[in-house]
Amino acid sequence: MRNDERYRPKPQSGQLEIFGLGSAGEQDFQEARKWIDENPAAWDFMVEQAMRLNRKGYVSVNYLVNMVRNELHVGCKNGIAPSLARIMESRYPQLRDAFNKHRSQSDGFSE
């Protein structure tokens, strides 16, 4: 258990952001979209694994990122993992609330 889960957890922010203001969260979100476009097979693999893991319970986006690295040998930055989870939830409603998300700079961006 992480300390922020134990003491004063900070929930995900529901406040939307305006694209084009140049925040770090927007850059992460755009980088995640670019990664998805450049690696469609790896993205499909991540989605398949997330669906499988969701049937068993909690899904870790960091685990999915490491699966892509180790099994498909595709590079993926740790910094875009929160954005990948948010994109996956927005594109696949059956995965909504499957991820244990914490506050992130990419909270306000969605598709």
| Model pLDDT for residues 36-90, shown as the tens digit of each residue | 999 999 999 999 999 999 998 888 999 999 999 999 999 999 988 988 988 998 8
Establish if 44 belongs to a structural domain.
Answer: yes
Establish if 90 belongs to a structural domain.
Answer: yes
Domain interval for residue 81: 3-95
CB atoms within 10 A of CB 94: 9
Give residue 22's pLDDT: 54
Establish if 8 belongs to a structural domain.
Answer: yes
Establish if 71 belongs to a structural domain.
Answer: yes
Residue 101 and residue 60 in contact, taking contact as beta carbons nearer than 8 Å: no
Residue from 2, 5, 12 nearest 85 by CA: 12
Per-residue tokens: 8: 């004063």
pTM over 0.85: no
More confident: 73 or 6: 73
**What's the number of domains the chain is made of?**
1
Establish if 109 belongs to a structural domain.
Answer: no
